[in-house]
Structure 1
Amino acid sequence: MRKDIEDWIRLHLLPGVGPIRFLNLIKHFGSPGEALKAGVRELSSVVNIDKTTAEKIVSEREKVKVEGELKQVEKLGGDIICFLDDEYPELLKNIAHPPPILYIMGDIDLNQRMVAIVGTRTPTVYGRTMTREIARGVAESGLVVVSGLARGIDTEAHKGALEGGQTVAVLGSGIANIYPAENRVIVERIVENGAVISEFPVYAKPERGHFPRRNRVISGLSLGVVVTEAPVGSGALITANHALNQGREVMALPGSVMGGKSGGTHMLIKEGAYLVEDADDVLECLGLERQGEVDREEKIPTSLDENGLKIFNLLKVDEPMHIDDIIRETGLSSSIISSALLEMELSGFIIQTGGLMYMRARH
């Protein structure tokens, strides 16, 4: 971390100082430390800092406690990247109102080529399956998949990426407050094969207003955004809009016209988004080539015991099977089956398509 990291954190935690004012202060004074020394009159001369805000900065700056913030980041094995650091991603630095600070868990170069994959929190089996397949193919090609760790499409994007390479999860909460809670297990895998990042203080709750801000970071890190399944009004379309404003490519996967789950993606395509059907289409849109041939031989999870292999061999690609049917067909107990299914899902061998339905992952 920077030697003056406490000044960065202190300014970051001050009430009323968001990304815009923070960076205006840095531009005016040269560093957070100099900004924190300034009086009301000097602060009031900064763009977008009125007298009331300046007075609040002066009165609150000594009250802000940064030690706990830094200790928690250290406890989590994390790091903090500041706007002026070499590690700060260049693409993100050049958007309107970039976050001045990024909290990060994981060890990854954020200046790698990245592609965002986003969509609805309540996807269909088709949406889950195609998202995972596209994410895996994109990751296998050497790109990092970025998404928002939300339920549904985001989670499938992360899972698919982990099957083929690396992924970055951008949070709408602090890194010590993983949301949704059920994704804590996958977060552990993401930290090992990518990164979890947030612009929000370490203990920040997943407040409603945080997610549009998170979405601009998702698109800001990326060369382009793929929306795989989203109805009209989906938050994923906010990410697509950010991408357009940031000069990024916007891509969309067509889906069924029934039910409305793909209404948003179809709207994007009508408005000029690049239609994609697989990872190769994503690469084509970005003007990139797949890095080498990918081995598509079926993977057999040899680490599984006899019961686990019995379950795996029962499942098929593109034919989801309910857990009750698996119990009936195998004659195994629900505890054995649940444990084996979880192990295979975390290893990327199977996909849970929703409603306790499982099928083999496509490899």
Structure 2
Amino acid sequence: MYNDLPLRKIIHVDMDAFYASVEQLDNPELRGKPIAVGGKSKRGVVAAASYEARKFGVRSAMSSVIAQRNCPDLIFVKARFDRYKEISQTIRKIFYDYTDLVEPLSLDEAYLDVTVNKKGNPSATLIAKEIRQRILEKTGLNASAGISINKFIAKVASDINKPNGQKTVNPEEVIQFLEDLDIRKFYGVGKVTAEKMYKLGVFTGKDLKSKSLEFLTETFGKSGTYYYHVVRGIHTSAVKPHRIPKSVGAERTFNENLSSEIFMLERLDHIAKELERRLKKSDIAGKTVTLKIKYSDFTLNTRSKTLPYFIADKGLILETAKELLYQEELQNSVRLLGISLANLNTEKKEKPKTEKETISVQLKFDF
């Protein structure tokens, strides 16, 4: 009954404050000091913050103005993505010494499936420890890791003992681990969703598990089904060496706020042109167009429309984006516009395993 189900040993490797750590590595004068990678201007945004800066509440995606306010001694460093890519490639070469099943999520993190690995090592925990040590020796940088039976738990676990640590969640520990987990630690639960869950009396995984599938889908839509399964240890997504994007987009932040739709049309034309270039480069088309609007007060608004056919042409993308722009009145002046295309012609549906099937197999798995 269970023989055909996947039995996986997954490692999630996540570099510690990667961009900021690279800057401190290359410039000894920055070591031990609060630094932020990004622009210092009033339009600047923090791309990464060192752990010294994080103690003051500085976080990635935060306005540089707010970051400086939180940490007056904050040092801003210009991003050097060529350097980050160079080190990232070195790290990935280490991954491939262990498995070809590597799914990069970004320059600084990746999933590895080491169920069957090139070293013949049955312990995913020892493999993760060895990988982290090799990264340190090769690059001088620290990495953290999470090890478990699926991608979701491995990713959550990698954050438990950061920085420079790792956490293994064995099969028999999965349910208790998830029940005890603070709801804010669940990957996929953002700040707004967490606040909504708090109001519903959901503070831990155990609280979430007490809610029915019907209640969760009614309250959170499609995400409700995701929450229902992951809190039960069910996440069947395999590590994909060539990860297929779920959406393709382009966006622009403006030097001055835009206060009228008329001023936005020219910008949308340029954004649609860039999006078309990216789509055609990858031979991708999609049905769902989403317009992203970030206001001057940093509130975010998205509007979407799904077409009955696939598109990749700038004209059709722009026409739909314009329709979405005029769909409702602007709430404030606008600092950023973006257009993305989802529901792509590359997507494949994956049928989730039942709770009984998945957990039964996992608990029999010699991790």
- Please tell me the TM-score bracket, short chain as reference: under 0.3
- Using structure 1 for the length normalisation, give the TM-score: 0.23
TM-score (norm 2): 0.23
Which is richer in strand?
2
